[in-house]
Amino acid sequence: KRRSWRDRLARPHQPGPVGPRHRKRARRHPRPVPLLRAVAELIFTAEKAPFPDSIIALNGTGKGLINNIAILSNVAPSYAPTGQALLTVSILGLHQNENLAALVTAELQTWFGPAAKNYRHLRTDHIRHALPEQKPGHKSPGYLKLDNTWICGDHNTTASIEGAIISGKQTAEFLLASL
């Protein structure tokens, strides 16, 4: 049975290759565990998607709270209530400000104009172990083999969903080549 958008919001699935369990597993291997970055994810509904593309819009200004915005309903319309759009806004770090949603809504107005004033904040998720910390110049082969264990994930490439996919693909290719 398909879960409704309300069910998905009520019980989010937050997969990730790194985190407390990864840290415990990594203690058995002679490889440093990456430092992890926190992210706040704010979820909004809107009467209309502010842009039609299935992309992640990045903040390239270096100013403001917002790091990126994705319109999930542009990818999967069933994620949003009928006739509405579902937006996610990512902010780096942990934020305990009670007015965070209002601050983000104000910043969204600078991105998308006065229509953003009517975006409805549904919830905020504070994800402590969201992404591995990677400094400029970080280099990694995309996979790691320790004993008979192949390790992949965004901590081995770039800290992103794309990095996790690339690492998984490279690991699978090297694993298949070794058979």
pLDDT tens sequence across 156-174? 777 777 888 888 888 888 8
Task: Tell me the pLDDT of the chain averaged across its residues.
Answer: 81
CB 108 within 8 A of CB 59: no
Beta bridge partners of 124: 42
Residues sharing a CB contact under 8 Å with residue 144, sequence separation 6 or more, in sequence order = 31, 150, 151, 152, 156
Neighbours of 172 (CB within 10 A): 13
| Distance from chain centroid for Cα 49 | 19
d(CA 66, CA 22): 28
Q: Output the pLDDT for position 18.
A: 47
pLDDT score of 94 more than 50: yes
Kindly report the pTM of this predicted structure: 0.69
d(CA 92, CA 104): 12
Q: Output the pLDDT for position 14.
A: 39
d(CA 98, CA 126): 13
